[in-house]
Amino acid sequence: MASWGALPLAEPRRVIERDWRFEALPELAETDSFLAYGMGRSYGDSCINSQGTQLSTRQLRRLIHFDTERGILRCEAGVTLGDILQLIVPKGWFLPVVPGSRFVTLGGAIANDVHGKNHHSAGTFGCHVRALNLLRSDGTRPRCSLSDNAKLFAATIGGLGLTGLIVDAEIDLLPISSAEMEVENEAFYGIEQFNALSRESADWDYTVSWIDTSARQGHTTRGIFSRARHAKNGSGLSPGRSSSLIKVPFALPWSCVNRWTVGPFNRVYFWAGQRQKGTRFEHYQPFFFPLDSVAQWNRMYGARGFFQYQCVLPPESRDDAISALLRDVRASGQASFLVVLKEFGDRRSPGMLSFPRPGLTLALDFPNRGQTTRHLLDSFDRIVRRAGGAVYPAKDARMSPDMFASAYPAVESFRAQLDPKFSSAFWRRVQASR
């Protein structure tokens, strides 16, 4: 049992898989603790309960009720977003927010309050949760919503699984008339051009950019800006494939991601993006989930795993901070080809510990080279903290307690809603100084 970053983390002491609709949580030894586990798509240690008990949600895979007229779905927490899309797309509905992978459970999407390419227009996943049911370690099963157990509801959305086990939830859906997306790409050179494209694209539902970190002088922040919306007159409502096309069979002894491979890849990707002029139509799967076509793609980073670093930077300091982060990447000689730049909007999540906030978010990934990589990420932390930004817990594996406390001031209110017997390797790390 591991997280998606495949970093060397201590294993849980035991894993229990049961139907938590009916079963109570088992008794704990004095040193034990609980944490729910779905598909393990969190990159760091927020989904790992090292030396504790992991509660698998694999048996919570039932779809409870689908109101096809109003677009309201209730299902159990172990259902993946891909499973949901297979059900709802043929009926003319879509998830209001999707992250970069469809292999994420509903419970994980809520616990991490995931965001997508439409944050500027739709906010986070938690903005569309109508209600949820928890299983607490004391045996209670509170229903939580904006009106019922409102504080516990706010703590559970983005609460990293620390308020109890999410059994099921009810969410609002988005109406669509086609499974296809209307997509446009535009090359940009420099943060000013990126900002201009973001402003021009405010009426597009989805926007995201890829950055070439291997570009040198003159093209220091060149990239491809993509904007999209659901097509009004597409070719039907097929949900597409439910599985990946190919699979990386095992973790390689070395990383395929390095400065010798990333540079050529980035040049080809930029060249291909430039050539896609005008509007095109494509199925939603390659637009939202391009990496899902390769099962276990994380194994390409080698047996030592990889770090992903995602931060958000506020409007008043974001441009300078982004430039400083990219300068540090180039100076380090370390390679990152999955570099994503995205504008967050000002729609506030109900979640106490929700990561998105107005500004720019930048996500990078690096093969684990031990202290060399950790020193680079420490330098990122200094830039982000000076800028008044935050790091995303779902992607983190080494944030300091001080960094966490400065970025999430609602943590004291959150702590009052914790289930005392739920914990994680992440939570123990960021609370180490208390």
Which tens digit of pLDDT belongs to each residue from 151-199?
Answer: 999 999 999 999 999 999 999 999 999 999 999 999 999 899 999 999 9
The 129-135 sheet, strands edge to edge:
63-67, 72-76, 165-172, 129-135, 143-144
Instruction: Please tell me whether residue 84 adopts helix, strand or coil conformation.
Output: helix
- The rounded radius of gyration (Å) of the Cα atoms in the chain is 21
Q: In what helix (H) or strand (E) does residue 378 lie, and over which residues does it extend?
A: helix 371-386
Which neighbouring-strand residues pair with 37?
Answer: 56
Q: Which residues contact 181 (CB under 8 A, 6 or more apart)?
A: 206, 228, 229, 230, 231, 281, 282, 283, 284, 287
Kindly report the pTM of this predicted structure.
0.96
Distance CA 10, CA 50 (A): 5
The answer to whether residues 335 and 110 touch, using CB atoms and an 8 Å cutoff, is no
pLDDT of residue 10: 86
pLDDT of residue 340: 95
pLDDT of residue 49: 96
pLDDT of residue 220: 63
pLDDT of residue 434: 57
pLDDT of residue 208: 97
Distance CA 379, CA 357 (A): 22
Residue range 224-254, pLDDT digits in tens: 999 999 999 878 999 998 888 889 988 878 7
Distance CA 169, CA 155 (A): 15
Distance CA 353, CA 411 (A): 7
C-alpha pair distances (Å), 255 with each of 12, 252, 419: 26, 7, 39
pLDDT of residue 209: 96
**Residue ranges in the chain modelled with pLDDT below 70:** 215-220, 433-434
pLDDT of residue 215: 64
Distance CA 188, CA 82 (A): 32
Domains delineated in the chain: 64-176 (3.30.465.10), 180-396 (3.40.462.10)
